[in-house]
Structure 1
Amino acid sequence: MADDPQRNFRSSYYEKVGFRGVEEKKSLEILLKDNPLGMLPPHSDSHTMVGGYRKEQYHDILEALEVMRYVNSSTPCTHVYLRMFQLESQVLPRCSEISAPDEENEDFLSISRAMEEIVDDPIDCYWLIKCFVNQFHTKFGDSIPHLPKSLEHYLSQEEPRLLKHLKNTGALAQLPYSLWFRRCFAGCLPESSLQRVWDKVISGSCKILVFVALEILLSYKIMLLGITRPEGVVRFLCNIPQENTDAIVTKAIELWYKYCGTPMHAV
């Protein structure tokens, strides 16, 4: 699947005028105003009316869940969003069948917690989570299983010694792929860095996730080469230091350009 050049207009424009990377300073919130998730109708005159309908829909769904006793005033917002999403998707379990969140639900909750740090209004937050998750699975659902192999390929180009070490220790097969690729680094990167990654995902590419994972491995290769047990590698990668993540994302974007050329590349 190729990127939509209109969706990725900022990367394309700044590259043409020679300011690659300038657009990275833009926040996810600014990008969302350009409506890449399809949250708003094309005619601006109807935005207020549609916003009102969605506000009513949010409260109607919330009230229904409260009446059915799925949520109450003490339920964390992220879990409320999950039940709302399940109800709208017609996969809401019976109350008697509710158990600890499975992996798919944990993916949703992780993205919800991250979005909650970016967007203040709960109604906007839910709609953004819903649209982000739906778009991600619709556009990239078939690509996600192939991303670990893609990561292995690029790591073989950049640092074959580290790749060999990860294979020999059994760590390669146990890398936190779910955290990186299914949760789009939610719970791994802090808000400021995460927004820059999600900016690219929303613009139309999941390939950026591979290069962020690659740059994490490259940035900590000395540390990783010194760990001989796969569980130690996974533990470290799930809790990487937070002070260097902006530089990691910047270098990841440079790798993305290096291997993919222009932003209009194959996903």
Structure 2
Amino acid sequence: MADDPQRNFRSSYYEKVGFRGVEEKKSLEILLKDNPLDLEKLSTFSQRFPLPLMYRTHVWKVLLGILPPHSDSHALVGGYRKEQYQDILEALEVMRYINPSTPSTHVYLRMFQLEIQVLPRCSETSAPDEENEDFLSIGRAMEEIVDDPIDCYWLIKFFINQFNTKFGDSLPHLPKSLEHYLSQEEPRLLNHLKNSGALAQLPYSLWFRRCFAGCLPESSLQRVWDKVISGSCKILVFVALEILLSYKIMLMGIARAEGVVKFLCNIPQENTDAIVTKAIDLWHKYCGTPMHAV
């Protein structure tokens, strides 16, 4: 889409007077009036702009396939989702896998396991393994973003399924991508991480497999997940890159790999909004901005 000088002027003016995103919000509202919804345009919008809080859950549900593109079916499908949720929950209660004191994220895990037919025997249940910890981390983060437990469960399930299906083969290659872009942005830091042995020990599981759940606060995390849900796992590389760049001086002063990893697993939370903003800018710089948006 060609640039519109009048639109750019209005956007600049709105931003200067404190109404950043007004034009984008209006554009999204126009998209959400389509029936059926144009998933490609919604995806492109989500990649170009942050989703307004009031529409985020709805757009995620549509992009993940929890709700169909036809808006007039949303109430009916939403009712089916609620009934299915209650049926699964009651089945687990009858089988005594869960009780009123079971943490909600563990309830979601058992529901997910039952649906994909990997629910362990009651006598064989044990502490969650690493794969289950990935689920629980994403679940805890989603709980902070979404209030309704029914929406929360379906978003966790479809988010994880989509991520594994679309990006499972790409995950092993993300550390190499991070190394490549770090060599472009800050080769001295890359050499330091290599020489200290820290590069191979970076918290890739926390960053990539869990999509930064447990690393970033939810206010920052949901902006990253906008991009993941709309079709890009590469954004995860640039968030990791910007974390390294933002703490370059501190990291350069840590000689041992263990110290680097310890710090990166507990980054200060007050700077994460700025880190995500810069990461998105880097992502657009290297990967380009989708041009078939509204």
TM-score range, shorter chain: 0.7 to 0.9
Contact 1:170–1:230, Cα closer than 8 Å, also in 2: yes
Stretches of 4+ moved more than 6 A in 1?
1-35, 264-267
List per-residue Cα deviations over 1:125-172 (Å, max 9, x = no partner).
Answer: 001111111111111111111000000000011111111111111110
**3-state DSSP of counterpart to 1:33:** coil
Unaligned runs of 5+ in 2: 36-63
- Alpha-carbon deviation of 1:176? 0.3
Q: Following the alignment from structure 1 to structure 2, what is the Cα–Cα distance between the partners of residues 3 and 65?
A: 54
Contact 1:27–1:195, Cα closer than 8 Å, also in 2: no
Contact 1:3–1:204, Cα closer than 8 Å, also in 2: no
Contact 1:169–1:228, Cα closer than 8 Å, also in 2: yes
- Alpha-carbon deviation of 1:189? 0.5
Q: Following the alignment from structure 1 to structure 2, what is the Cα–Cα distance between the partners of residues 99 and 58?
A: 24
List per-residue Cα deviations over 1:163-189 (Å, max 9, x = no partner).
Answer: 111111111000000010000001111
Q: Following the alignment from structure 2 to structure 1, what is the Cα–Cα distance between the partners of residues 107 and 143?
A: 12
Q: Following the alignment from structure 2 to structure 1, what is the Cα–Cα distance between the partners of residues 105 and 230?
A: 25
The structure whose RCO (Cα within 8 Å, separation 6+) is larger is: 1
Q: Following the alignment from structure 2 to structure 1, what is the Cα–Cα distance between the partners of residues 254 and 286?
A: 29
Q: Following the alignment from structure 1 to structure 2, what is the Cα–Cα distance between the partners of residues 260 and 135?
A: 21
Which moved further from structure 2: 144-153 or 1-10? Answer: 1-10
List per-residue Cα deviations over 1:202-247 (Å, max 9, x = no partner).
Answer: 1110000000000000000111111111111111001000011011
Q: Following the alignment from structure 1 to structure 2, what is the Cα–Cα distance between the partners of residues 65 and 9?
A: 56
Evaluate the alpha carbon distance shift between residue 134 and residue 6 of structure 1 in structure 2; reply closer, same or farther with a 3 A threshold: farther
Evaluate the alpha carbon distance shift between residue 256 and residue 50 of structure 1 in structure 2; reply closer, same or farther with a 3 A threshold: same
1:166 equivalenced with 2:193 (yes/no)? yes
- Alpha-carbon deviation of 1:40? 0.9
If the length of structure 1 is used for normalisation, what is the TM-score? 0.86
Evaluate the alpha carbon distance shift between residue 264 and residue 89 of structure 1 in structure 2; reply closer, same or farther with a 3 A threshold: farther
Contact 1:151–1:214, Cα closer than 8 Å, also in 2: yes
Unaligned runs of 5+ in 1: none
Match of 2:292 in 1: 265
If the length of structure 2 is used for normalisation, what is the TM-score? 0.78
Q: Following the alignment from structure 2 to structure 1, what is the Cα–Cα distance between the partners of residues 17 and 2?
A: 22
Q: Following the alignment from structure 1 to structure 2, what is the Cα–Cα distance between the partners of residues 51 and 209?
A: 31
Evaluate the alpha carbon distance shift between residue 215 and residue 223 of structure 1 in structure 2; reply closer, same or farther with a 3 A threshold: same
Aligned residues: CA RMSD: 5.6
Larger Rg: 2
Match of 1:226 in 2: 253
- Alpha-carbon deviation of 1:5? 22
Evaluate the alpha carbon distance shift between residue 186 and residue 265 of structure 1 in structure 2; reply closer, same or farther with a 3 A threshold: farther
Contact 1:3–1:205, Cα closer than 8 Å, also in 2: no
Contact 1:27–1:196, Cα closer than 8 Å, also in 2: no
Q: Following the alignment from structure 2 to structure 1, what is the Cα–Cα distance between the partners of residues 116 and 7?
A: 26
**3-state DSSP of counterpart to 1:6:** helix
- Alpha-carbon deviation of 1:28? 13
Evaluate the alpha carbon distance shift between residue 200 and residue 82 of structure 1 in structure 2; reply closer, same or farther with a 3 A threshold: same
- Alpha-carbon deviation of 1:45? 2.2
**3-state DSSP of counterpart to 2:225:** helix
Which moved further from structure 2: 23-32 or 123-132? Answer: 23-32
Contact 1:147–1:210, Cα closer than 8 Å, also in 2: yes
- Alpha-carbon deviation of 1:53? 1.3
Q: Following the alignment from structure 2 to structure 1, what is the Cα–Cα distance between the partners of residues 25 and 169?
A: 30
Contact 1:11–1:263, Cα closer than 8 Å, also in 2: no
Contact 1:192–1:246, Cα closer than 8 Å, also in 2: yes
**3-state DSSP of counterpart to 1:239:** coil
Evaluate the alpha carbon distance shift between residue 222 and residue 193 of structure 1 in structure 2; reply closer, same or farther with a 3 A threshold: same
Evaluate the alpha carbon distance shift between residue 32 and residue 57 of structure 1 in structure 2; reply closer, same or farther with a 3 A threshold: farther
Q: Following the alignment from structure 2 to structure 1, what is the Cα–Cα distance between the partners of residues 158 and 176?
A: 27
- Alpha-carbon deviation of 1:42? 2.5
Contact 1:28–1:195, Cα closer than 8 Å, also in 2: no
Evaluate the alpha carbon distance shift between residue 194 and residue 133 of structure 1 in structure 2; reply closer, same or farther with a 3 A threshold: same
Aligned residues: 266
Contact 1:162–1:225, Cα closer than 8 Å, also in 2: yes
**3-state DSSP of counterpart to 2:269:** coil
